[in-house]
Structure 1
Amino acid sequence: HATQQETNKTITTSTKAIKQLSEVVRGSSRVRQERLQLDRLKNQLSDAIQRYGAVQKKIAEKSKALLPTGQRSTKQQSPRTPFSDLPDDEKIFNRGDGMWQNQSQDQALLSEITEEDLEAIRQREEAIQQIESDMLDVNQIIKDLASMVHEQGDTIDSIEANIETASSNVESANEQLAKASQHQV
């Protein structure tokens, strides 16, 4: 459980760092190369988050699969053969003492085991609920990351279009300056 919480914190921290890096890349002069590196980092983080979510889902499924087994094992446990099922001659001659002299102790032990098992089942259910909650958190982080990537893509496309327009305008201005220079001569 502590590992899951630590992993979720790491994912959140990484996502925030990617957002900050996106802001830095926007203001950078080497846009294309840094954008490619940023995209690669975003994709790697997204893939890691998705793999983590899949692992959490498997853990939750396996934990849920264990619950019915735990519940069944407590029901199947029973003290020794009931007195009524003992052979008649053992009831008569031994009064069943060999099998049932500690019947109340056996029932108390069964009650303790059942309570312990129930507590274990409760703990498993809580762990499953925590895993499901963590999965929802990871899912939200993935959605946020996807939204951020989409927004960055639009911004980068806009920046790239502006750079191309500026480059075209500079070439056109150079041609016009060359023509103006020839007209002055």
Structure 2
Amino acid sequence: METSYQGGVPFEDNDNFQRLSQTIASNIKKISQNVSSMSKMVNQLQTPQDSQELRNQLRQIQNYTQKLAKDTSSMIMQLMKQKTDIPANVLTRDRLSDEYMATLNAFQSTQRAAAQKTKEDVRKVKAQSINIGDPFALGGGSKDGMELESSRKQEQLTLQEERELQELEERERDIRQLESDIVDVNQIFKELGAMIHEQGAVVESIEASVEHAATDVEAAAHELSHAANYKNKLRKKKVYITLILIIVISIILILIFNH
């Protein structure tokens, strides 16, 4: 079955390019919006607005954005592998790759900020757990009262320590996840950078071909100009010869009539 073409590109391929580029543009917008929300949440950490609910929301949006970034990276690579001779498509591809790299960079910066604050929280919790005093070092009161109070204080401290330990473990998991995600984003940067470099080499090759073609066109134009000049000279020469012949014939006719 024949395939219809538009500017040397199959309609089907061009439609796929358009659909893919629209999806990528939509994903970039979502990632950018999520990064903005994440940045606001990170700024609220270690402030009166900080809460476990806030941290859970931050973790959820971070995980979703990480997955969205990976999917978009795969789409960008598919888009860059598609061959297109349409200048508008080439411009769209380059624009989307630039926008995605900038958005990805902002996402990674937000990840690093969240990881840094979480590490600071972990250090504070560990320092507090080390500085907890002896719960039995209580002054005054009867022996029974001291033992009862001591038992109550110990129970409270134990519950508090358990909660702090759970938070500590959870935040350490968050740190490990964030660091793993940052490494993944670095890998995305490397893969895209390598592909963009490869595309750049292709573009340079195309530019060199265009330059070579332009040189050939210039040489051809020079040859045409030279041929045109030669043709003009030849035409003038013919005109001069014709005029001379007319003059000679006229002189001969005059002489004949006079005789």
Which band: TM-score by shorter chain?
A: 0.7 to 0.9
Is the CA contact (8 Å cut-off) linking 2:84 and 2:90 kept in structure 1?
no
Q: Identity over aligned residues, as a percent?
A: 30
Counterpart residue number, 2:96 = 41
Aligned length: 173
Counterpart residue number, 1:147 = 194
- 1:110 paired with 2:110, answer no
- 1:60 paired with 2:107, answer no
Is the CA contact (8 Å cut-off) linking 2:135 and 2:154 kept in structure 1?
no
Q: Deviations over 1:108-167 (max 9, x none)?
A: 332232122112111111110100000000011111111111111110111122233234
- 1:28 paired with 2:28, answer no
Shift of 1:170: 4.9
Is the CA contact (8 Å cut-off) linking 1:79 and 1:110 kept in structure 2?
no
The root-mean-square deviation of aligned C-alpha atoms, in Å, is 3.0
Is the CA contact (8 Å cut-off) linking 2:118 and 2:175 kept in structure 1?
yes
The structure with higher relative contact order (CA 8 Å, sep 6+) is 1
Write out aligned runs for 1:87-98 (5 A). 90=141, 95-98=142-145
Counterpart residue number, 1:160 = 207
Is the CA contact (8 Å cut-off) linking 2:136 and 2:150 kept in structure 1?
no
Counterpart residue number, 2:43 = none
Shift of 1:5: 2.4
Structure 1-normalised TM-score?
0.76
Q: Relative to 1, partners in 2 of residues 1:111 and 1:29: Cα closer, same or farther, differing over 3 Å?
A: closer
Where do 5+ consecutive residues of structure 2 fail to align? 1-58, 236-259
Is the CA contact (8 Å cut-off) linking 1:18 and 1:42 kept in structure 2?
yes
Partner Cα separation in structure 1 for residue 110 and residue 159 of structure 2:
35
Is the CA contact (8 Å cut-off) linking 1:79 and 1:106 kept in structure 2?
no
Structure number with greater Rg is 2
- 1:3 paired with 2:61, answer yes
Partner Cα separation in structure 2 for residue 23 and residue 169 of structure 1:
30
SS in 2 for 1:60: helix
Is the CA contact (8 Å cut-off) linking 1:4 and 1:134 kept in structure 2?
no
Counterpart residue number, 2:129 = 74
Shift of 1:168: 4.0
